[in-house]
């Protein structure tokens, strides 16, 4: 039996843009996703857009009961910036009513409510002004954060500012998976820098508004493993960690941007524009806890033909295809649960053993109806095995002293996944796209048993 600490959080994670639906109704303004789907629907899997998704806006009361039915004692979701403040300034009372009722219903069902502020859903009014490239976004986000803390602070005791900030940087400004689908390393770095400052500004305001809650940030941490111990491969892994992990984790927890990162960017003439006061803002506003999303490791080798100055991250490191890997063929990701142990020890040894939790971990599989039994239940034993393996290595890290307080699977109910739509399913509950009916999968029954026993 692998027992977890007392009061361990067993939960799930989801987001407003991927689950709420009613994307342009009840006072909500357009986000970049609404705009992109309207202008280029062919980019989206089977033309599945953000307008309906999982319909949580209309089903949240029953969904809270369903959360309780599978033993969840916590859930992380997000507020839609464009719903709460459609023009960036004016509070939408319909949004306030919805979120207060939703968060209260979770609490009524014994579910700790953990709320994130930004999950890739930039309001279009701000994108029209340059989005995160515009320094004005820092002030705009801080106002949104303050509004949220004041409106919902009595219901929410754990807040986070951003989910995977490096993703909207990469996908929007390097790899064309998010709007505005630009490929420009310099602009990507400026976006990352303003995002970091927006996070810090929100933490600063949080300290002024409340002293009874906690605030953190959610980062996607994929440990970097070099192809070999050859100097060039080791350097590639070090630079990968600088760009992908330490760029946000070090400032969030330690209050510093790594000197090596600053030197690397300066060497390639890639430093962002900065202003007086930025250093103090970064140094002083530290988080109370960290959420870490983990799905797959990052394996790298020395770049093949690097350009100088660098034009893309591939000029610092190249992907390495490990021949012994185990794969999830549907998502195209390596399954390597051992990395959660490495993450746990990294947080203990390098980040002051700050409280942290696994904020996402899960397995996306296509065409899950293949595994439906005669009773209509999807027998997703592959998902159960995936979670068991990852939790086993996490447990080992906790036993060795890492200060992990929870595990959240992605996700509660099958959700819409950006350009991939509903191609891959992740939920404890299956979603019927025609009726929005939910039905529990085998993994939901398994999670209930794990939560009841506080282990497995």
Omega prior to 411 cis, within 30 of 0: yes
pLDDT for 121:
98
DSSP tag of 48:
-
Task: Give CA–CA dist 186/22, Å, rounded.
Answer: 36
Asked about 273 being catalytic, the answer comes back as no
Mean pLDDT across 293-299 = 97
Percent of the chain with pLDDT over 90: 98
Helices (H), 360-415: 381-399
Label residue 312 by pLDDT band (50, 70, 90).
Answer: very high
Task: Report the pLDDT averaged over residues 328-349.
Answer: 95
Whether residue 51 lies in the annotated active site? no
Is the pLDDT reported for residue 334 higher than 90?
yes
Reply yes or no on whether the pLDDT at 279 is more than 90: yes
CB 336 within 8 A of CB 361: no
- Look at the pTM and tell me if it is higher than 0.85: yes
Positive or negative CA dihedral for 11, 12, 16, 19?
A: negative
Note whether 316 and 238 are within 8 A (CB): no
- The stretch 265-277 carries a mean pLDDT of 97
Q: ∠ CA(321), CA(326), CA(329), 5° rounding?
A: 90
Q: What's the mean pLDDT in 334-341?
A: 97
Over residues 434-446, mean pLDDT: 98
Instruction: Grade residue 301 by pLDDT with cuts at 50, 70 and 90.
Output: very high
Instruction: Give domain 9-453's CATH superfamily.
Output: Glycosidases (3.20.20.80)
Q: Encoding tokens for residue 143?
A: 């106002």
Cβ atoms of residues 237 and 225 within 8 Å: yes
Task: Dig out the tokens for 322 from the structure.
Answer: 């490990």
Residue 448: its pLDDT value, please?
Answer: 98
CB 430 within 8 A of CB 32: no
CA-based Rg of the chain, rounded to a whole angstrom?
21
Q: Return the closest-CA partner of residue 190 out of 219, 213, 218, 168.
A: 168
Q: How are beta strands 224-226 and 289-293 bridged, if at all? A: unpaired
Residues 440, 66 contacting (CB under 8 angstroms): yes
Annotated catalytic residue, options 164, 170, 334, 368 = 164
Residue 325 and residue 288 in contact, taking contact as beta carbons nearer than 8 Å: no
- Whether cis (ω within 30° of 0) applies to the bond prior to 437 is no
Q: At 124, phi and psi to the nearest 5? A: -65, -30
Q: Measure the CA angle with vertex 225, ends 194 and 366; round to 5°.
A: 80
Number of H helices, E strands in the chain: 16, 17
* The predicted structure's pLDDT at residue 332: 87
Rounded to 5 degrees, φ, ψ at 324 are -95, 15
Query: Are residues 429 and 413 in contact, defined by beta-carbon separation less than 8 angstroms?
Result: yes
**Percent of the chain residues topping a pLDDT of 70:** 100
Identify the CA nearest to 77 among candidates 90, 62, 67: 67
Give me 438's structure tokens: 């939910």
Q: Is the pLDDT of residue 251 over 90?
A: yes
Band of pLDDT at residue 212, cut at 50, 70 and 90: confident
Where residue 25 falls among pLDDT bands split at 50, 70, 90?
A: very high
pLDDT at 211 over 90: no
The answer to whether residue 331 scores a pLDDT higher than 90 is: no
pLDDT at 26: 98
SS3 state at 298? strand
DSSP 406: E
Q: Is the peptide bond before 309 cis (omega within 30 degrees of 0)?
A: yes
pLDDT, averaged across the chain: 97
| pLDDT tens for each residue of 389-429 | 999 999 999 999 999 999 999 999 999 999 999 999 999 99
């Amino acid at each position: 039996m692998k027992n977890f600490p007392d009061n361990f959080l067993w939960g799930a994670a989801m987001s407003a843009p991927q689950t709420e639906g009613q994307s342009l109704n009840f006072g909500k303004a357009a986000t970049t996703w609404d705009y992109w789907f309207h202008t280029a629907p062919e980019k989206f899997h089977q033309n599945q857009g953000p307008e309906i998704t999982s319909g949580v806006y209309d089903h949240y009361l029953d969904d809270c009961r369903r959360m309780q039915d599978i033993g969840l004692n916590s859930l992380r979701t997000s507020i839609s910036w464009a719903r709460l403040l459609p023009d960036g300034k004016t509070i939408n009372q319909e949004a306030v009513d919805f979120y207060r009722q939703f968060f209260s219903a979770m609490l009524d069902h014994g579910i700790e409510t953990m709320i994130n502020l930004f999950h890739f859903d930039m309001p279009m009014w701000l994108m029209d002004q340059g989005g995160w490239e515009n320094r004005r976004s820092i002030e705009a986000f801080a106002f949104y954060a303050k509004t949220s803390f004041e409106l919902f602070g009595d219901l929410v005791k754990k807040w986070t500012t951003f989910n995977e900030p490096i993703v909207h940087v990469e996908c929007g400004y390097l790899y064309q998976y998010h709007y505005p689908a630009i490929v420009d390393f310099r602009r990507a770095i400026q976006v990352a820098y303003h995002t970091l400052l927006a996070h810090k500004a929100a933490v600063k305001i949080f300290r002024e508004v409340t002293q009874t809650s906690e605030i953190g940030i959610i980062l996607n941490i994929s440990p970097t493993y070099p192809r070999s111990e050859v100097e060039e491969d080791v350097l590639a892994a070090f630079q990968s960690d600088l760009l992908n992990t330490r760029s946000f984790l070090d400032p969030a927890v330690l209050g510093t941007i790594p000197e090596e990162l600053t030197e690397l960017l300066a060497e390639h003439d890639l430093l962002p524009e900065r202003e007086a006061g930025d250093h103090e803002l970064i140094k002083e506003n530290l988080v109370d806890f960290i959420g870490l999303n983990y799905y797959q490791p990052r394996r790298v080798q020395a770049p093949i033909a690097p350009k100088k100055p660098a034009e893309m991250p591939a000029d610092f490191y190249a992907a390495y295809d490990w021949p012994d890997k185990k794969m999830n063929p549907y998502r195209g990701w390596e399954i390597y649960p051992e990395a959660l142990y490495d993450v746990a020890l990294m947080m203990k040894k390098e980040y002051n053993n700050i409280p942290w939790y696994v904020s996402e971990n899960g397995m996306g599989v296509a065409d899950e109806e293949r595994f439906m039994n005669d009773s209509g239940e999807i027998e997703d034993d592959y998902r159960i095995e995936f979670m068991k393996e990852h939790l086993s290595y996490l447990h080992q890290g906790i036993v060795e002293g890492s200060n992990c307080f929870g595990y959240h699977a992605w996700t509660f109910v099958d959700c819409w996944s950006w350009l991939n739509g509903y191609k891959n399913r992740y939920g404890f509950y299956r979603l019927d796209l025609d009726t929005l009916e939910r039905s529990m999968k085998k993994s939901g029954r398994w999670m209930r048993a794990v939560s009841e026993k506080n282990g497995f």
